Structure 1
Amino acid sequence: MSIQNRFPDAYDPSSLRAIVTPSAFARQNLFYLQEAGHIRLRRSHAGLQRSRLDSYLIVQVAAGSGVLRYDGREFALTAGQCFWVDCRRPHGYRSSPDDPWELRWVHFNGRSAPGFYGLFGDAAPVFTPTDAASVARRLDAILRAARRWDTPAELNASAEIAALLAEIVTDRARAADSGTLTADRLDEVRAYLIEHCTEELTLDAVAARFYISKYYLARSFKRRYGETMIACVNSARLDAAKQLLRYTDLRLGEIARQCGFREQSYFTRRFREAEGQTANEYRRAWRGRT
């Protein structure tokens, strides 16, 4: 679809925009696409100002330069940079009058979108991806899907959005780690927690083992993995419990003890919170009838 806009002389004729309507299935279950585009400006114009728009926006500056205004802050943008914003907040962006830009973008939403945006964090909405070509390929693939727009295209667009978000969030985590604990060091801590999850673990003991300040370790771990250290340990304990539920006849109290839960009641509560069913219901469902 050729681009429709209020400034027809400002855009190169090759510019494209696709506005689509997601299906009810997509709204309930997927990252769903709202709009995608690739524009080349021949001259700058008044720019854009929005707020209270139920959408998330990722933009890549392919060429040129401009400015992003977001939540009362202003950020300069140059070729190779991207930004990700929550469009419910006040935002706007415009090209430099002397250096008209070329942009790729995607507007999307979905039930998991706020969680991914939380992992990204908006303290610095502008970022420079490690692999700008990969980001461009994914945005181009999303636009191609939008221009076809049928059920397979909608699924493909959702998959590309998910992959794009994972790439951005992982990139942001690596960048944060480069100024703090190394990713390898944190991976080592996480592997230790999982391997020793059935033992009694404390933050003080783990920090001392790795010669790291416990507060520094806790902050760095949460930033890299999106969960606390105790949440990581509890997940590993539940994984171990599932093995025993499915392949042994041990009582719940013994399973709780072997997996590092000090009390059966705590194990029962955490299992139900995680699985939406009791441990006994899980056991019966997975074992089936014999």
Structure 2
Amino acid sequence: MKKGYNKLLEIISNGNVYSGQDLAASLNVSRAAIWKSIKHLQALGLEIRAIRGKGYQLLEKFEFLSKEEIRSMMTSKSKKSCKDIGVVFKTNSTNSYLLNQLDNESIHGSVVFAEYQLGGRGRRNKKWISPIGSGICFSVGWRFEVMPISLGLLSLYMGIAIARSLNSLKIKEVGLKWPNDIITMGHKLGGILLDIRGESTGPLDVVIGIGINYELPKYKLINIDQPIIDICGASKKRFSRNMIAANLLSNVFEILHDLQTGANLNLLNEWRQFDYYAGKEATLILPNEKITGILKGVDEQGSLLMLVDGKLLSYRSGEVSLRI
């Protein structure tokens, strides 16, 4: 078996009912091995129903990510910047995957997608796990010989790339929350995580991690400490995961290409148009204090601006919590 469970998933991904005996024969294993693999897939978050006397059925069809399909749907401009695309079934995190590659080879223009991440991370190293196939999770490697903009701006620019993609899908109320959250209709749809190797004044390798909720199980939407949403729920449509992945990659690479070639790129006004919480009262959570004020957008370096006790102050880091 191809790691057992993912070969099994390839067979049942169409949503049809398959008997344990037929699955065992197809994969040349015992029925006990099939049962064990079914349990493993269920543990990864897939909803698989056992039908007495009939077999097993995946309740929602599963579309595997395909590097060939993704590349075929990317724009011509973005393909020139994309060196290679990889898809792994399971990894600790796609950012860690590329960072490990960087120890031995260049990752400039490399992309890796994962169907499932064991140790996905959010801000402040918070653990972030989504059920298998429920998101579009990937990382892009890029090398800057000289950093053309501040690192704070790079995170904002990647947010713009994602927002452009979502707008092209006609998703309503697309917005951005400083510094790296993707918002739709007031709910979190995804996020960005940058990992940096090198010095800001010299050659710099950046790994850009992006995670977007595609279709989360209902229990995941309930059992979480913040309002979240997925693309299928926001759009009321079931778009192809590969199409969305290609759209996201195209917008990411086009911005990276323009930065690399020295294009006069100033996207701050566009970011401000997507700024979902401008003018709202919020609390900025820092390592040793919390600051409450009115959100006033960002400055030219990508730092957060807040009106605090009548003074306009800027902050390079922190987590914004909206006051409800």
Higher gyration radius (CA): 1
Normalized per residue, the structure richer in strand is: 2
Normalized per residue, the structure richer in helix is: 1
TM, length-normalised to structure 1: 0.31
TM, length-normalised to structure 2: 0.29
